Amino acid sequence: MQYEQFYRRSIEQPESFWAEEAARIHWEEPFSRTLDYSRAPFARWFIGGKTNLCYNAVDRHLPQRAQQPALIAVSTETGSERTYTYAELQQEVMAMAAVMQSLGVERGDRVLIYMPMIAEAVFAMLACARIGAVHSVVFGGFASNSLASRIDDAQPCLIVSADAGSRGGKVIPYKGLLDEAIRQAGHKPARVLLVDRGLADLPRTPERDADYAPLRRQYLDAQVPVTWLESNETSYILYTSGTTGKPKGVQRDIGGYAVALASSMQHIFCGQPGETYFCTSDIGWVVGHSYIVYGPLIHGMATMLYEGLPIRPDAGVWWSIVEKYKVTRMFSAPTAIRVLKKQPPEFMQKYDTSSLKALYLAGEPLDETTSSWISDALKVPVIDNYWQTESGWPIISIARGVDDKPTRLGSPGVPMAGYRMAILNEATGAECGANEKGVVAIEGPLPPGCMQTVYGDDERFVNTYWRSLPREVYSTFDWGIRDADGYYFILGRTDDVINVAGHRLGTREIEESISSHPNVSEVAVVGVEDKLKGQAAYAFVILKNADAAATPQQKSALEAEIMGVVDRQIGAVGRPSRVLFVGLLPKTRSGKLLRRAIQAICEGRDPGELPTIEDPAALEQVRAALRP
């Protein structure tokens, strides 16, 4: 089938198209209706159907694949490797589910998972799915303040955590961060379940904290039946940075998500049951949810869970994994490939990567140099794909399982099934012509797998995503163009969210953290193009007492202090690359920060005419701060 025919049917006849795709998963009870869009823009998919994500990821495969590898956990941080078959994975998930139930978790309860990349984190996610609890995974690198805000929003009855994670050989203790987050949070979880890896001290709070190891032994033979859930019940909450500083809880359904992942594994990622899939992301991000945990397992593949860096113990570690486990499909980010490109070529050449059939890259724009280098080195196609936490699976890519369309350098590709794409004029809402810059938008209904709403805040979902443009369409908040052949090119964010090494960070969140420093009067954070990370965060700060940064030594010390504040409140992932001190910030007469002008100066571009600027001297202050 040609792509054009496949895609056209998905948007012109969405109900029959997705009803057919729904046959890729198990339904305990069939759905009575494919789509209910009577309360637009809220789409409900596969109404009345009952299914379960854990059953589709694990139990469904047992008759044919009980002894096939399902989860391969590799840690170069601790030097450990462990393969779980589908049968062993089911046993571990049922044990974790029984432990959760013993700690009071029931259907519909929220469970927050604050874990490193270890097998128990996957067991916890699948156990929640099995018993109908709603998981909310928080990236293990987040600091107490960010974790506390997510605890207050999700209001979990249980938090699952560990003594520590490890990165680059450096142990990152979690328990102190978690205890401080619970202290800060208004909501107090009833129980905390702890995995002790023996990496750091693990102080316990009596009556609240429970150790996983003895409870696992107690419940290892437990038989926990699957809880069958209506397709539109909530599977998980995953927080993404918001422009207000308050994170948005992306709420996902069950049936639509399972169908979308099953469909994408077939049509986009082209994996085969029994093969091995290696996604180098983290479960704290949406890529980890969709293409480490659920997608490959739903498709009957073995999935790699990797804790470590791409260059430790050396720059060949990923390729050694490809060789050892016969990886056929690999998913990573351009930043990681740019890091590897800087390493000696012999690290790539010493391993047999012939099992690999394709490399998929996402999280940030893919540049031509990086794409060409890795494609030549691996001798495989490199497939770009563009999507968001909100979509849950690729919006734009090349569906090689449908039609092996040529890729186009600089473009992630063409719209995937069900996404009614448009490039719209920001001011008028009119559709842009070929190669005309506008906002990348999607007409409703969003296809299966996309977010249902912002958790606990339907109004925020509508106002944020559907009312930012003159027409009621979903805004991706990305600038883009579409060429005459229908290929899309993504040009960067329209809002105040930046993309650092594939991680979306709200500039407002970073600004609020920096503002808490006692000597900071005002701050503006912008994303600046960075060849390695995609974007880097630059913070421009006005001090209450400018004399505190009068000398280079004082500036350096104050910059380190401010970075330390962000480290403690958000985590290293939010730390700005540079903190620069100015006396004025470019603003309009109404007081709005001219972020695009600041960004343009940082990137060596002309900021253009700024007729509404209050004081043009502020632009020179930015330029002066950037000079060595």
Q: What pLDDT digit, counting tens, does each position of 88-119 carry?
A: 999 999 999 999 999 999 999 999 999 999 99
The CATH code of the domain that includes 579 is 3.30.300.30
pLDDT (0 to 100) of residue 7 = 97
Q: 555-614 pLDDT, tens per residue?
A: 999 999 999 999 888 888 888 999 999 998 888 654 567 888 899 999 999 887 675 577
Q: Do 515 and 614 have their domain in common? A: yes
Q: Do 556 and 597 have their domain in common? A: yes
Is 488 contained in some domain?
yes
Q: Do 527 and 565 have their domain in common? A: yes
**Whether residue 443 has pLDDT greater than 80:** yes
Q: Do 449 and 535 have their domain in common? A: no
In this structure, are strands 474-482 and 438-443 parallel, antiparallel, or unpaired?
antiparallel
Which tokens in the block code for residue 302?
């073995």
Q: Do 470 and 580 have their domain in common? A: no
Is 450 contained in some domain?
yes
Residue whose structure tokens are 């900021």: 607
Last residue of some domain: 452, 474, 493?
493
pLDDT (0 to 100) of residue 99 = 98
Hey, which bits of 284-411 come out as E strands?
Answer: 302-307, 327-332, 358-361, 382-384, 396-397
Task: Tell me the percentage of the chain whose pLDDT exceeds 90.
Answer: 75
Is 570 contained in some domain?
yes
pLDDT (0 to 100) of residue 591 = 56
CA angle 465, 470, 472 (to 5 degrees): 50
Q: Beta-carbon neighbour count of residue 141 at 10 Å?
A: 20
Q: Do 619 and 504 have their domain in common? A: yes
Confidence grade of residue 1 (pLDDT, cut at 50, 70, 90): low
Domains in the chain: how many in total? 2
Q: Do 486 and 454 have their domain in common? A: yes
Q: 55-81 pLDDT, tens per residue?
A: 999 999 999 999 999 999 999 999 999
Is 545 contained in some domain?
yes
351 vs 404, more confident: 351
Residue whose structure tokens are 């794909």: 385
Q: Which domain holds residue 515?
A: 499-626
pLDDT (0 to 100) of residue 500 = 78
Task: Tell me the percentage of the chain whose pLDDT exceeds 70.
Answer: 97
Q: Do 476 and 567 have their domain in common? A: no
Is 206 contained in some domain?
no
Which tokens in the block code for residue 356?
């690999």
pLDDT (0 to 100) of residue 507 = 79
- The model's pTM is 0.84
Q: Do 596 and 528 have their domain in common? A: yes
Q: 170-211 pLDDT, tens per residue?
A: 999 999 999 999 999 999 999 999 999 999 999 999 999 999
- Mean pLDDT of the residues in the chain: 93
Q: Do 470 and 527 have their domain in common? A: no
pLDDT (0 to 100) of residue 245 = 58
Is 350 contained in some domain?
no
Which tokens in the block code for residue 256?
């639509």
Q: Do 541 and 617 have their domain in common? A: yes
**Whether residue 242 has pLDDT greater than 70:** no
The CATH code of the domain that includes 467 is 2.30.38.10
pLDDT (0 to 100) of residue 32 = 98
Q: Do 477 and 510 have their domain in common? A: no
**Whether residue 368 has pLDDT greater than 60:** yes
Is 527 contained in some domain?
yes
Last residue of some domain: 493, 523, 543?
493
Contact 522/591 with Cβ under 8 angstroms?
A: no
Instruction: State how far the Cα of 419 lies from the Cα of 217, in Å rounded to an integer.
Output: 46
Instruction: State how far the Cα of 235 lies from the Cα of 445, in Å rounded to an integer.
Output: 20
Is 149 contained in some domain?
no
Last residue of some domain: 458, 493, 528?
493
The CA distances from residue 493 to 281, 364, 424, in Å, are 22, 11, 14
Which tokens in the block code for residue 357?
């059939």
Q: 527-545 pLDDT, tens per residue?
A: 998 888 888 899 999 998 8
